[in-house]
Amino acid sequence: MGFHYRIIEGNAYFLTLTVVDWIDVFTRKNHKVTLVESLEYCQKNKGLVIFAWCLMPSHLHMIARAEDGTNLSDILRDFKKFTSKKIIEQINDEAESRREWMLDRFEFAGRHNNKIKNYKFWQDGNHPVELTNYNFIQQKLQYIHNNPVVEGFVQNPEEYLFSSARNYAEMLGLINVFLI
């Protein structure tokens, strides 16, 4: 990983976690719920501090940092490892018309990596961008919350259930976040 994409302990980052080949996995409710529950687990048990988030069909955007004494890279590694296994298991167990195609893509993505046993679900890296000033933070916050609007899923950011835009609109969100 290049210096530009290193995570420094204590700092907040704009992060993008992307499914291999940008496969639209998060169109199924059970996969979305798995991801939300995993984020909540990381908040409660691993020291993940989330300021903003938005789950799109093929990727997750977050503004986050780790609590003092914890490491954001380690949290993200564990999160990706768990969600990868759980969602692959769900794909195997459910009636999914794209099952064979998706599993083939995930298997192919991990084929030449000795660390991967069967399937590679997430792309390498998290594309961390350190948040250095208020204007930059606000730009990334707006980008995250407007993602579903730009894609035509909703007309207003707070209408999208799988996003912290609801929290920022003083509505009940799926995940508790620290407002910026």
pLDDT band at 5 (very low <50, low <70, confident <90, very high): low
Q: At what angle do helices 29-45 and 72-93 cross, to 10 degrees?
A: 150
pLDDT, mean of residues 149-154 = 98
Residue with the larger pLDDT of the pair 145 and 69: 145
End-to-end CA distance of the chain: 29
Q: What is the pLDDT of residue 112?
A: 79
Cβ–Cβ under 8 Å, residues 166 and 177 = no
Distance between CA atoms of residues 148 and 159, nearest Å:
9
pLDDT surpassing 50 at residue 94: yes
CATH class for domain 3-136?
Answer: alpha beta
The model's pTM: 0.92
* Cβ-based neighbour number of residue 14 at 10 Å: 23
Q: What is the pLDDT of residue 108?
A: 92
pLDDT, mean of residues 61-87 = 96
* Tens digits of residue pLDDT in 96-110: 889 999 999 999 988
pLDDT, mean of residues 35-57 = 98
* Tens digits of residue pLDDT in 16-34: 999 999 999 999 999 999 9
pLDDT, mean of residues 55-69 = 96
Identify the weakest region by mean pLDDT among 33-42, 106-115, 123-132, 155-164.
Answer: 106-115
Domain boundaries defined on the chain: 3-136
Q: What is the pLDDT of residue 169?
A: 98
Name, in order, each residue with C-beta under 8 angstroms of 169's C-beta and a sequence gap of 6 or more: 157, 158
